Structures are given as structure tokens and as C-alpha cells.
Structure 1
């Protein structure tokens, strides 16, 4: 992994975290049990990978490294925070007893363990709502960008995106498919994991003046990154440990979930992961504005991650 890519990643996270800390002080007021639960989950570590996707789809790597604060590009940071709120809400609900019933997230007690189940449900609801409120504040120069951004996030996180993927995952766990498992697996993860990742890339891109000429390649690349992310997650659930993952490993196998290792075997899953890396890199190599260290380095970083 190149040191320049890792520096872009580190700087992007620092920029987002700086905005996050300053903005959420105003956003989550007045302080209540719900705001405490929201902030507990939002601040529970995490790589901030989806906000990083937003920022780097908007700014070129050189601009990221020159960035001294968020004031000149506030719409991109608002969109990044919207994505992080949606993602965190999904994790809170995913950990609930009715869903994955997990006690640990990012190495800390899950929201319903730290507070209680009802508070966790309401905190997730609040974060979902806040996400779309944040997009209403974008104030871009393009008058259609707010409408398009709301539609992008809804498509990625809504009833035909991430939520449908979660529903299909639950249905598959309860009534495992006996035929066309490959198609079923792809459908679940394109929606459950990939849809919000694609939305993150598209949101940042939509705020650029040249968004339309990049949109098709960004979309294809993001879909491949979503697939790569899920294959790697499935492999880590088999090979990872609690200390590195920050969540309980081996739960997929115990629950009998349909995953890439369970369907293809671990070695073939790793080959599919490596093929996905190659495909993602080839996609962005075709467009000069995307042929940069962030987009070229990201697939390898995801494939090599340990958590």
C-alpha cells in the first residue's frame, strides 16, 4: 500500500472528524437520552470510510492534501455527515435482538446494550431523519443538486436499497434458498452493503460541476467496491478475531448465513476478492479525473484490511 494513499486516507478522516466534532455540537441539541445514544454510536470509533468516499469523489487528492478546513467546501462535508448518520443508524438497528443480536460494535457495547432496546431503535430513527435534513442544507450552486442528492441517498439507503438487502438477508437466514444461490447472494449484498457505498461516491460526485461526465464510471466503480467490501467482510468473519474486528467473528457461519466463503469456499472467495480489485482499478484507469492515487489505491486497501 502506497504511503501517499494512506496519507490521503488519514487526511480525509481528520478533515471529516474535525467537521464532525464542530458541527454535531450544534446539531445534537438540546441534550437528551436520544442525542446521547446517537452520539455514543457516532463516536464509537469506525474508519469513516463512507464519508471518505464522499469527500474524495468531490475533491481530487491534491485538493484533499491542501484542504485547511471545511468552510470552502461545506456542502461536501454535510453530505459526508449525512452518509455517516445513515450508516450508523443501520448499524444500531442491525445489532438489535430482532436482527443480528450483537453485543459488540467497534469494540464497544452496542447501542441497545449501552442504553436499552427502545432507546436504540429511536436513536436509529433519529439518525435516519437527520441524514436527509443535512442534505437539505447543502446550498450548492446547482439548484437541482439538493433534489438529486436526496434521491441518491434514498435510493441507496431506502426500501429498494439497503433496507431491502437487509430484508432479503433475514429471509435467506430463515428460509435458505436451495437454488440459484449465487444470484441470491449477489442480490443481498448489492443492496445491503453496496447500495450505500455507491450512494456515498455518487453524492460527492454530484456536487462537482463535471459530475455528469464522471457519473457512469463512478457508479460502476462504486458497485465493484461494494462487492469487494462484502467479500472481504465475509472472509474476515471467517479469519478475523474480536480484537481486530471490533465485533464478534464467526457469527455468519453460526447463523447459517449465505456468504461468499459458505457458497464458494474460502480460497475461491479470496480469488473473487482479488479479481474484484483488478476490475475496480481498470474501471477508473479509463477516466483521467478518476485515474488518481485515491481511486487506484482504494481497492487494494479494502482487500487487505483486517477490520
Structure 2
């Protein structure tokens, strides 16, 4: 992994965390049981991958600010925070007994274990609605901006995106497909994992003045990153351990879930992962404004991650 990519990754996370820490002081006040549950999950040590996607789809590598206070307009950070709220809500709900039924997330007790099931459901609901409130707080450059941002986030997180993917995953687990399993697998993960990742890239891009020129190629790149992310997740569920993953490994196989290793075998799954890395890097070289260390280094970073 190149030092310049890792520097961008580190600086992006630092920027987001700085905004997050300052903004949450007033956002989650006064202190209640529900705000405690929200903050418990938001502060549980995530990698902030999706907010980082938002930031780096807006800033060119050399324009990444050194600190949040240097920017008068915080719209890009509000969009980043909105995505992190959606992602965190999805994890809270995924871990519930009615869904994936997990006791550990990011190396800590899941929200419903730390608090209780009802509180976890309400914390997820709170973060879902909060994400769209954060977008409403942006200062629009034109009358269509907030509408477009809400539409992009809804497409990634809503009934045609992440939620539909989760529903398809549950249905497949209960009634496994006898045919077209590869098509079904791709459909599930394009929505369940890939849709919110694509939205993350497109939200940051929409705040740029040249967003229309980049949108189509960036969407293709984001879809490939989403696929790569899921293939890697499936492999890690087989080969990872609790300490590295921060969550219970081997749950997919026990639940009989349709995954890349279960459908293709581990060797083929790893081959597909390598092919996905190559496709994403190729896409990153096709548009000058994307030809930078972040977009070029991201595919290998995702493929080589341990959690």
C-alpha cells in the first residue's frame, strides 16, 4: 500500500472524526437513554469508510483541508455524517435477534446487548431519520442540490437499495434459490452492500461543480468497489477471527447464507476478488479527475483488509 494513499486515508478519517466529535456535542443533547444508545454505536470504533468515500469524491487529493475549521461551508461533512448515521443504523438493526442475531460488533457488545432490544430498534430509527435531517442542514449551491442529495441517499439506503437487499438476503436464507444463484447473489449484494457505498461516492461528487462530468464513471467505479467489499467480507467471514473482525466469524455458513465462497468455493472467490481489484483500478484511470492515489489505492486496500 502506497504511503500517499495511507496518508489520504488517515487525513480523511481525522477530518471526519474532528467534525463528528465537535458536532455531536450539541446534536445529541440533552442526554437521554436513546442518545446514549446512538452514541454508543456511532463511537464504537468504526473505520469511517463510507464518510471517507464521501470526502474523497468531493476533494481532489491536493485540496484535502488540514482541518475542519478552515472551511466555512460544512456541507461535505454533513453529508459524510449522514452516511455514517445510515450505516450505523443498519448495523444496529442487522445485529438484532430477528435479523442476523449477533452479540458482538466492532469488538464490543452489540447495541441490543448493551442496552435492550427495544432501545436498539429506536436507536436505529433515530439515526435513520437523523441522516436526512443532516442533509437538510446543508447550504445549497442551487435549489436542486438538497433534493438531489436526499434522492441519492434514499436510493442507497431505502426500499430499492440497502433495505431491499436485506430483504432478499432474508428470503434467500429461508427459501434458497434452486436456480440462478449467481444472479441472486449479485442482486442481494449490489443492494445490501453496494447501494450505500455507491451513494457515498455520489453524494460527495454531487457537491462538486463538475459533478455531471464524473457521475457515470464514478457510479461504475463505486459499484465495483461495492462488489469487491462484499466478496472480501464473505472471504473474511470464513478465514477471519473474532479479534480481527470485531464480530462473530462463520455466521454466514451456519445460517446457510448464499455467499461467494459457498457458491464458488474459496479459490474462485479469491480469483473474483482479484479480478474486481483490477476492474476498479482500470476505472480509476479512465477519468483524469479520478486518477489519484486514493482511487487507485482503494481497491487493494479493501481486498487486503482484515476487518
Instruction: Measure how far apart 1:73 and its partner are.
Output: 4.3
- Report what 1:243 is aligned to: 243
For 2:171 and 2:150, the matched residues in 1 are separated by 28
Deviation at 1:149, TM superposition (A): 0.2
Partner of 2:105: 105
Distance in structure 2 (CA, Å) of the matches to 1:11 and 1:142: 29
Which residue does the alignment assign to 1:186?
Answer: 186
Question: SS of the residue aligned with 2:72?
Answer: helix
Residue 232 of structure 1 and its aligned partner are, at CA, apart by 0.1
Q: Distance in 1 between matches of 2:73 and 2:118?
A: 37
Matched with 1:68 is: 67
Q: CA deviation at 1:72?
A: 3.3
Residue in 1 that maps onto 2:141: 141
2:132 corresponding residue in structure 1:
132
Counterpart for residue 275 of structure 1: 275
1:98-130 CA-partner distances (Å, limit 9, x unpaired): 000000000000000000000000000000000
Structure 2: 5+ residue stretches without partners: none
The answer to whether 1:10 aligns with 2:4 is: no
Distance 2:196 2:48 in 1: 13
RMSD: 0.7
Q: Is the 8 A contact 2:284 2:295 kept in 1?
A: yes
Between the aligned partners of 2:194 and 2:68, the Cα distance in structure 1 is 30
Q: In the aligned structure 2, how far is the partner of 1:143 from the partner of 1:212? A: 16
1:84 corresponds to: 84
Structure 1 runs, 4 residues or longer, greater than 4 Å off: none
Per-residue CA deviation, residues 134-155 of structure 1 (Å, 9 max, x unaligned), is 0001113122110000000000
Q: Residues 1-307 of structure 1: matches in 2 within 5 Å?
A: 1-64=1-64, 66-70=65-69, 71-307=71-307
> Secondary structure of 1:130's partner?
helix
Matches of 1:212 and 1:73, distance apart in 2: 21
CA distance in 2, matches of 1:72, 1:201: 22
Q: How many residues align?
A: 306
CA deviation vs aligned residue, 1:262-307 (integer Å, no higher than 9, x gap): 0000010000000000001111201100010000000000000000
Unpaired segments ≥5 residues, structure 1:
none
Deviation at 1:17, TM superposition (A): 0.2
Could you tell me how far apart the structure 1 residues matched to 2:72 and 2:13 are? 17
TM-score, normalised to structure 1, is 0.99
Note the C-alpha offset of 1:7.
0.7
Residue 140 of structure 2 aligns to a residue in which SS?
coil
